[in-house]
Chains A and B, each alone.
Chain A
Amino acid sequence: MEHSCPLIKNVLLLDSEGKRVAVKYFCDEWPSLASKLAFEKSIFAKTQRTNARTEAEIGMFDGYIVVYKFIADLHFYVTGGDDENELILATVLQGFFDAVSLLLRNNVDKRTVLENLDLIFLCIDEIVDGGIILETEANVIAAKVAMRGADADVPLSEQTISQALATAREHLARSLLK
């Protein structure tokens, strides 16, 4: 029987030359490093010249649905199977994109991302678990990445957006000071 649960095949964050910043694959359709890199190269080449800065863009590449959004020198991608609901993929992309913006206080560029790479890895880990969508709300993702609520007694579920933002900022400030 077919998998009726939406599945994410991979989440990619590449730089403006198509090089890896952070990537995570959730299926074994690209078994080797070479096949993964080839996929990234192909996707990058096909999307490079599109304007995906104001709205997320989308395409069907190599038999996969890929939604993507660019900011500064960074390219965000989310890939799903060819029969996936495009809007679900777009929601995941938006969650990833916004959570990163929150965590980096809107300073989203390659340099800041590299300086806070731990946050990016955690971010992907909080959005998708083994291909299954774990969370799509940017503020919740950011709060979980920052482990907000782990020190205090305020349960995460009762946090407001501004609290989550504050946590993210606090974390950012800390990482800038180090």
Chain B
Amino acid sequence: MALVQPMKKEDDRDDEEEYSPYLGIEKGAVLQEARVFNDPQLDARRCAQVITKLLYLLNQGEVFTKVEATEVFFSVTKLFQSKDVSLRRMVYLMIKELSPSADEVIIVTSSLMKDMNSKTDLYRANAIRVLCRITDGFLLGQIERYIKQALVDKNVVVASAALVSGIHLLQSNPDIVKRWSNEVQEAVQSRAALVQFHALALLHQIRQNDRLAVNKLVTSLTRGSIRSPLAQCLLVRYTSQVIRETASNNQTGDRPFYDYLEGCLRHKNDMVILEAARAITELNGVTTRELTPAITVLQLFLSSSKPVLRFAAVRTLNKVAMTHPLAVTNCNIDMESLISDQNRSIATLAITTLLKTSNESSVDRLMKQITNFMSDIADEFKIVVVEAIRSLCLKFPLKYRTLMNFLSNILREEGGFEYKTAIVDSILILIRDIPDAKESGLSHLCEFIEDCEFSYLSSQILHFLGNEGPKTLDPSKYIRYIHTRVILENATVRASAVSALAKFGALVEPLKPRILVLLRRCLYDNDDEVRDRATLYLNALESGSQLEDGGFRADKFVFGTLDVPLANLEASLQAYESSETPFDIRSVPKDVKSQPYSEKKAPGPKKPSKDAALPAAANEKSLHGAKSVDAYEKLLSSIPEFSTFGKLFKSSAPVELTEETEYEVNVVKHIYPGHVVFQYNCTNTIPEQLLQNVNILAEILEGDEFSEVVSKPLPSLPYNSPGQAFVAFEKPQGVYSIGKFANTMRFLVKEVDKDTGEVEEEGVEDEYQLEDLEVVPSDYFLKQTVQNFRNAWENLAPEFERVDEYGLGVKDSLNEAVQAVIEIFGLQPCEGTEVVPSNARSHTCLLAGKFVGDISVLARLSFGIDPQKQVAMKLAVRSEDQYVSDAIHEILSGA
């Protein structure tokens, strides 16, 4: 009885819900069934059923072996004998799905060609689609004539089939398809919507590399012969492409084709309206006047009953809000009602848009609305909102209280790891950037770790508390939170808590005795790591104030920041052999050459000089530059020989002197008022070698004004532990001396046993030729941005203004000329003038910077290009010194 029951139940379910005609069908059995295709008397219905089963199997992801596929294909081809239309339709589909190989295709070619010339239009359309899908170039030559006719066939299905096939064939056989241009052009005029759409898509793809032809196409079609909405969408896309490529600095300020786009905003089909509105919002440097009509139609969409329309509109407005937040504020009321939209994607987009456009006064109200919304959306949407709130808070630091409260509230609610991480990261960033938010932020984090299920986050927060807590007004209040973790948490978190506690002990003297008591308790922890940390910190804290040998203080080391680059420490630790002598942190090189070294390895900008055209990359570079100058200054001032040189003016980016070889050397040029120092960063990449007494000989090839004053060799260069050698030259004060130097690296090579690490006593003298190094005029100029170029220009006395005109010869484009000149001077382009609109005939570029000796210099460059691509330039320079103004002109004439 008990056995029968479940059986019956299963039957029931089969009948009711799980019924499927395909239940339990198997590939093997269906392939057997496919033999009916070979029957002399074809049963059309049965055959169609078997094909459906085969298609079902393929659709479910079943794979046919090569042999099986071939077998099925051959038997399917037999079905062309049947006159049954439905079966024929299935045969077409099956052949496409089987994607037969070239030698198999031959079997069906004649059958398909027959159908292609059939009187029945649907046979013709389908046969064209199948043939074009499976054909190769050779076969295409044979059928080209028919397809060409089909393109302009009066039957729309046939014409569309041929045109769409043309779009696919253009990828594989562009030469043949390009010959159909005339027919396709005729088809564009078709009255049938989809034929027009397909024809336009194909025509554009045929001509897409011919800018003039596309321009002509757009010019003629925008006058209005397109009826199909889909084709109209294509035309809008092509039009914005043309606009992008045409010069925008038209005299009247009117953008070509803008009227057409604007007209499309009144099209009767929403699809076209959306396409046009989006095209307008994405125009380069779109003005508010141009934007307004597009925003207006999108605003109407916001209150549509169709989710798709609302989504499309809010998504577009969200993008606009990133660049033109003010233009979108009109939609704020509609946007607010979308916060409660059933569709959570729409609601999230509406919120993030509002967060971008809201002003300081509306933040509180907005946050109230969002709070209700947050509880019922998925984590992935919440993360988007949290990120938007973080940037809002950085925009309105005064509102930190509201926003911080919001973050701490959602932190207490349920959520996955990624969501919580996003919140914690946001709080950490706010604490870092908004000093007022620190105290409240820290206490929110303290509360959070009381009940945090993610060890990773707890550890991160404890580490942060250890760093920041001691610097607050009342550090003692954090001790309780941290110590509770020591009692209640798992080993990972306990270890982090011990470290955090110890930091309080080291940094806050009054708390030290209490911390020592707490740490002593941890000595009995049942986890090794926790006990080890407690022991280490106790020792460091108790013996902290006593000086060890050589003025080395244990507490400074344990609690201070590590003053050696981590990469160097890693390299030294790897090189360290366990022996009697303990590892000495002081042996780790402190130099900064690891910076260029790591930069080289980073996947980011590999050839920075070429990217300089992009403002973002340039900014990043100069930022980076400022950072490394500080580090270089520190390093150089620690070398007594250079102490008399005065203030370091500029350090160049590292210049590679070798190509990925056994020794890697790059050089940094340091410019002082009367000296130039070359810092050679050397890396030895051969594990079996130790280099000693590494000396760089820099021989002056050109440049009479230089004379060598100091050469500082590198005593030892072990494997993979970079080091530097220096050579310094004296040169006349305050002038730009240019020169060229030949570099040779001379050293003593000693063999190293890779296994034992033993170094042989005897070494061999060797030398290694490096590439030449040039000192160029731009080395003496420092990039410096001025906020208002006009003011800065007026403030510099006109008496040192020098103006001259130059012919720059033939250039590919104005942009090329501008970038080349910027490169020569090494000055900072201001106000975005380094960007040249494509096709511009003239351009003005503003440069600013300092010459060695801190002399400000400004340059205004006006470029013009004539139809023969001859570029002329007028250069006006103002500076605080006549010499510098003249120098800029001399440099240009010399270049």
Contacts and interface: CB of A to CB of B under 8 A. Distances in A.
Interface of A: 1, 4-6, 20, 22-23, 33, 36-37, 46, 50-51, 55-60, 67, 85-91, 111, 114-115, 117-118, 121-122, 125, 129-130, 132-136, 144-147, 149-151, 155-157, 171, 178
Given A22-B59, A88-B233, A132-B167, A157 B192 contact: yes
B167 A147 contact: no
Contacts of A36: 61
**Is chain A's binding surface mostly helix, strand, loop or mixed?**
mixed
Counting from the closest, the 5 A-B pairs by CB-CB distance are A86-B312, A87-B271, A33-B61, A150-B85, A118-B52
B477 interface: no
Contact of B306 (A4, A55, A147): A55
B45 A178 contact: yes
Given A60-B345, A132-B164, A146-B86, 20 more contacts: A4-B234, A5-B204, A6-B230, A36-B61, A56-B307, A57-B308, A58-B307, A58-B343, A59-B311, A85-B271, A85-B275, A86-B274, A114-B22, A121-B52, A122-B89, A129-B129, A129-B161, A133-B197, A134-B164, A147-B89
Interface string B572-586: 000000000000000
B343 A50 contact: yes
A157 to B, nearest CB: 5
A130 B166 CA distance: 12
B835 to A, nearest CB: 21
B120 interface: yes
B122 interface: yes
Contacts, number: 157
B160 A134 contact: yes
Contacts of B19: 111
B304 to A, nearest CB: 10
18 contacts: A4-B241, A5-B167, A20-B60, A55-B308, A58-B311, A59-B345, A85-B233, A86-B274, A86-B311, A87-B274, A87-B312, A117-B55, A117-B56, A121-B59, A122-B90, A125-B93, A129-B165, A132-B168
Contacts of B233: 6, 85, 88
Nearest to A37: B61
A67 B308 contact: yes
Contacts of A178: 45
Contact of B93 (A58, A67, A121): A121
A14 to B, nearest CB: 12
A91 B55 CA distance: 26
Interface string B65-103: 000000000000000000001101110010010000000
A88 B273 CA distance: 12
A51 B237 contact: no
Given A5-B234, A58-B345, A171 B52 contact: no
Interface string B120-132: 1111000001000
Contacts of A115: 21
B312 A147 contact: no
Interface in B153-200: 155-157, 160-161, 164-165, 167-168, 192, 194, 197-198
B270 interface: yes
Given A36-B61, A147-B85, A147-B122, A5 B201 contact: yes
Contacts of B305: 55
B343 A59 contact: yes
B643 interface: no
Contact of B59 (A23, A86, A157): A23
Contact of B155 (A90, A155, A171): A155
A150 B123 contact: yes
A129 B164 contact: yes
A159 to B, nearest CB: 11
A135 B194 contact: yes
A33 B61 CA distance: 6
